[in-house]
A and B are shown apart, each in its own frame.
Chain A
Amino acid sequence: MELRNRFKKVVNRSKTETVNTEVPTGLLRKCNKCKAAILTEEVKANYYTCPKCGGYFRMHAYRRIEMITEHGSFHCWDMGLTTHNPLEYKGYEEKVKMLQEKTGLDEAVITGSALIGEQKVALAVMDGRFMMASMGEVVGEKITRAIERATTEKLPLIIFCCSGGARMQEGIVSLMQMAKTSAALKRHSDAGQLYISVLTEPTTGGVTASFGMLGDIILAEPKALIGFAGPRVIEQTIGQKLPKGFQRAEYLLEHGFVDAIVERKDMKATLAHILQLHVKQAEENAQNKNVMSETENSDTDSETGDMDTSINSDLTAWERVEKSRRNDRPVAEDYIEAMFPDFMEFHGDRYAKDDTAIIGGVATFHGMPVTVIAQAKGRNTKENIAHNFAMPSPDGYRKALRLMKQAEKFDRPVLCFVDTPGAFCGLEAEERGQGEAIARNIYEMSGLRVPVLSIFIGEGGSGGALAMATADEVWMLENSIYSILSPEGYATILWKDSKRAKEAAKVMKLTAKDLKEAGVVEEIIPEPATYIKETLQEVTDCLDTKITAYLERYANMNKEELVEKRYSRFRGVGKW
């Protein structure tokens, strides 16, 4: 049955009053992303994101400061600088003046100091309302002054980037700001100071190509446009349509340029966490070391050491190979969850990719900041595919090296968990220089001026393992292995028969016991008879004690002595 136009619509109209309903100005606004009408108050309550599509609104600098700093703690620096109009560009000064009146800002960036948590920081926040926060001499000058002051006052520096790039109206003077700000950041970094860069929609041109990409840690807001050349320029130049998601924060994360994507609601907590992981408090460290000493005193080597072969001493080499590869064996992420609950992962090699076969980041170990890097197998097939079965590509090793260099800068010990069948064997890996990446890691690690400890938790496949094990000490779990090649590969090369892997395993001397006897490893960590996630704690408890003792031995060692000791450790192999 069709109802349309079937009903009589009779009403007795007696309109005496005019309707005076209306939407008050400012009650609603429109989301540029999903085009929906949305309530302004919901947008504000939602950290300036769209309640319908989750899209991010650009934020005024002062709102941003309110959102990430402690109330009332912000103090402005260097207000009142105005452009000299170096090109004498017509109408430019008028435009700046008009924007100053309209926005209440003196230029496109606000700088100052503030508290985030209990940590005082130097802060620069760009404001897109002011000529798309393009960088002219004032922006460059204010940011440079903020960097210099942060360096002098030994403050961590945070810059919220948002910019169309260099300011065209100021010509070459604008371009020079890229050099000026970058040079100041070099000095800040050389002074051992922390710089966190936060990239927001949009960060492009000369800002990306200077301070935007120079953070020790680079964070980005979800879906933010980040790039050097703008997408329209690229499209017109190459005459092609750009792929979906090109130059978005997620794309940059995947390509190794961003440490983490952080939602706005989590930004303050994330910054506070990172700052806390970088607090340099000599006293606190000293205190920690005292605690460590006590732990060590109560726990001598004779208790935990040399128990290595007591449990499963009758296992054959091949049985240990099988154990090291078991699917239910705890993986790196299990150790990290158990031992480093405040672990914060940082992504990317800053060259090409974020390799998921290696995870790395910063955490505290009994209050001491440490860099943790691990080859990450998955707990199931799906996770294994996501982590490429812990077979790192060059990008993974470069990420590891980047994080180690960062650890060196901030004087943090490096703890590596090794568990790989071997470096990834493939076309792209060779193209990007697998050999170079492994070599570079071994080379740089040998001279790293912080303690480096490597723990083998499963498979230690060849150069792929050594690139994370050129360490002061190498420890192995009882049923982990470490070898020049997989037993299958060894059998193939020497006997042209991969089925003779069992035999090869025996010949290769790849078990922890063999390797300790050979002087390649320092410690063997006993495993429970059934080693699965449920029994992980037995091992992590032991590791906890031993790592504490290790740090006690190495953390205060003279840098030269430390490097010399590591050199001797490898120099001594095959010496006669």
Chain B
Amino acid sequence: MINKVLIANRGEIAVRIIRACREMGIETVAVYSEADRDALHTQLADEAICIGPAESTQSYLNMERIISATIISGADAVHPGFGFLSENAQFVRLCEKCNITFIGPTAEVMEKLGNKSVARNTMVEAGVPVIPGSAESIYDVETGAPIADQIGYPVIIKAALGGGGKGMRVAETPEEFASAFQMAQKETQMAFGDNTMYIEHFVQHPRHIEFQILADEHGHVIHLGERDCSIQRNHQKMVEESPSMALSDALRKSMGEAAVKAAKAANYTNAGTIEFLLEKNNNYYFMEMNTRIQVEHPVTEWVTGIDLIKEQIRIADGQELRHTQEEVQITGHAIECRINAENPAKNFRPSPGTITELYMPGGKGVRIDSAIYSGYTVPPYYDSMLAKIIVYARTRSEAIKKMRSVLGEVIIGGIDTNIDYQYEIMNHPDYISGNIDIEFIEKMQG
């Protein structure tokens, strides 16, 4: 039985988890860096423990300190949120050794899915469609080039461990391969301290479609439909929605079943996301599985009525899923816009600083997940997301109108934000008509 949860994260997701725990009668422990002394999550939790200086390596990424804080506070479980240690198998293993319940999958499963080559092989064996790509880890250009030829250009070179767009490069032709590989590998080494690379066929103009999965420890796996996350800049998602206009009921069924198959093949437990690339001809390929809660989880919550954070905690507590696949109904349409402290006119340069004025609108079908308040200082050390605005309506077009209305009302003074940029997206004819793919932002910027 989980009585007390330590939230190993900060920002809106920490707040989101604290609220869910509170509704479940579970005590909460926040951890914070010296830069987050006055952060909302620090103040909101029942207890808060300072775990070190501002730099995340010294605080939110410091496993030893987070474990110590968990033991000292008497928490019996850790929720990792997203980012930071959420997909660090070593951290999960540490929790397991210390008898701390990690709210997420096991270390073993995380390790398997965190390595793209291993994950891919698992999917191939399970019969889930994958993009043609290298079967083994690649460490140099000489080995990579003939494999790229075999796969067929264009190819994309990726970090075997990793995500978030770091360590990725596309080579359109064999001539570009060597330099693309070297650059990707250099980035990979810097970002992940590893130089293992992976090459695959580069699918052109696809949509990013991901399926939300819930799996309990009793062998039940269901999916909660898809999210269309095609609106991305540099592989960072900006707008997400559910359901996707691109999926017919039949395609949704087929992809959903593939997602469930994928989760089962990996022996997955807890909430997870299967990412697919969907081509215009409705071919879809497994991309990767995210072994954590996602930023964009609220859109799924709204169209299914299921609270994903609470489900995560229930599953970690050993309980069975409360819904069967048949009971999951997708109704209406939800859209999420990520509001970041950044300046789109200056190449999206981060804009930390103090928020001098703040007005957040409300109303029917409006949800704002955020950790900012008037007078809050956005620290420069962490990612720049300030808030997620989620709207819900019967139809997509109604939801777009609602989002425009909300974006038009928001006031955040003192720092630069991307609100106007999001407003432009909501007014873009291609977005409105649903004619989108992962190159939307690139095209919009010309």
Q: Which residues of A contact B (CB under 8 A)?
A: 1-4, 6-7, 9-17, 19-24, 27-28, 36-39
Contact = CB atoms under 8 A, between A and B. Distances in A.
B3 A15 contact: yes
A28 to B, nearest CB: 6
Interface stretch (B91-99, B105-113, B119-127, B227-235): B91-99
Interface string B66-78: 0110110011100
A21 B99 contact: yes
A134 to B, nearest CB: 34
A39 B25 contact: no
B439 interface: no
A9 B25 CA distance: 11
Contacts of A3: 38, 40, 43, 373
Given A6-B43, A7-B43, A28 B26 contact: no
B43 A4 contact: yes
**Among all A-B residue pairs, the 9 with the closest Cβ atoms:** A12-B25, A37-B64, A1-B375, A3-B43, A1-B374, A19-B74, A21-B99, A21-B100, A9-B46
Given A3-B43, A11-B46, A37-B68, A27 B76 contact: no
A16 B76 CA distance: 13
A27 B38 CA distance: 33
Contact of A20 (B40, B94, B99, B374): B99
A42 to B, nearest CB: 9
A19 B28 CA distance: 14
A17 B46 CA distance: 19
Nearest to A7: B44
B252 interface: no
A16 to B, nearest CB: 7
Max chain B CB contacts within 10 Å: which of A6, A19, A28? A19
Nearest to B63: A39
Contacts of A27: 94, 97-98
B222 to A, nearest CB: 29
A268 to B, nearest CB: 22
B373 A1 contact: yes
Contacts of A23: 67-68, 71, 98
Nearest to B1: A17
Centre residue among B3, B74, B90, B376 by max chain A CB count within 10 A: B3
Contact of B64 (A1, A11, A36): A36
A39 B64 contact: yes
Interface string B1-15: 101100000000000
B280 interface: no
Given A3-B373, A17-B3, A22-B71, A11 B26 contact: yes
14 contacts: A1-B374, A3-B38, A3-B373, A4-B38, A7-B43, A11-B22, A16-B3, A21-B76, A21-B99, A22-B98, A24-B98, A28-B67, A36-B64, A37-B64
B257 interface: no
A288 B67 CA distance: 61
Given A19-B74, A22-B99, A37-B64, 6 more contacts: A6-B43, A19-B3, A19-B75, A20-B99, A27-B98, A39-B90
A102 B356 CA distance: 65
Contacts of B373: 1, 3
A19 B74 CA distance: 6
A499 B135 CA distance: 72
B261 interface: no
A225 B28 CA distance: 47
B166 interface: no
Nearest to B39: A3
Contact of B98 (A6, A11, A21): A21
Contacts of A1: 373-376
B55 to A, nearest CB: 12
A20 B38 CA distance: 31
A88 to B, nearest CB: 49
B4 A19 contact: yes
A1 B375 CA distance: 5
Given A19-B76, A23-B98, A24-B97, A13 B27 contact: yes
B367 interface: no
Nearest to B355: A1
Nearest to A41: B90
B65 interface: yes
Interface in B46-68: 46, 63-65, 67-68
A30 to B, nearest CB: 10
A440 to B, nearest CB: 49
Contacts of B46: 9, 11
Contacts of B100: 21
A116 B136 CA distance: 32
A19 B65 CA distance: 19
A342 B34 CA distance: 49
A24 B75 CA distance: 16
A49 to B, nearest CB: 15
B285 to A, nearest CB: 35
Interface in B276-291: none
Contacts of B43: 3-4, 6-7
A27 B63 CA distance: 12
Given A4-B43, A17-B1, A28 B64 contact: yes
A22 B97 CA distance: 8
B111 to A, nearest CB: 15
A538 B267 CA distance: 63
Contacts of B40: 3
Contacts of B64: 28, 36-39
A24 to B, nearest CB: 6
Most buried by B among A6, A11, A13: A11
Contacts of A6: 43
A3 B75 CA distance: 24
Interface in B19-49: 22, 25-28, 38, 40, 43-44, 46
Contacts of B75: 19, 21
A39 B94 CA distance: 9
A10 B44 CA distance: 11
A523 to B, nearest CB: 41
A225 B2 CA distance: 50
A11 B25 contact: yes
B88 to A, nearest CB: 12
Contacts of A19: 3-4, 74-76
A7 B22 CA distance: 13
Nearest to B2: A17
Contacts of A21: 70-71, 74-76, 98-100
Interface in B355-386: 373-376
A529 B295 CA distance: 65
Nearest to B45: A9
Interface in B211-266: none
Contacts of B71: 21-23
Contacts of A16: 1, 3
A173 B151 CA distance: 74
Contacts of A9: 46
Contacts of A4: 38, 43
A7 B98 CA distance: 32
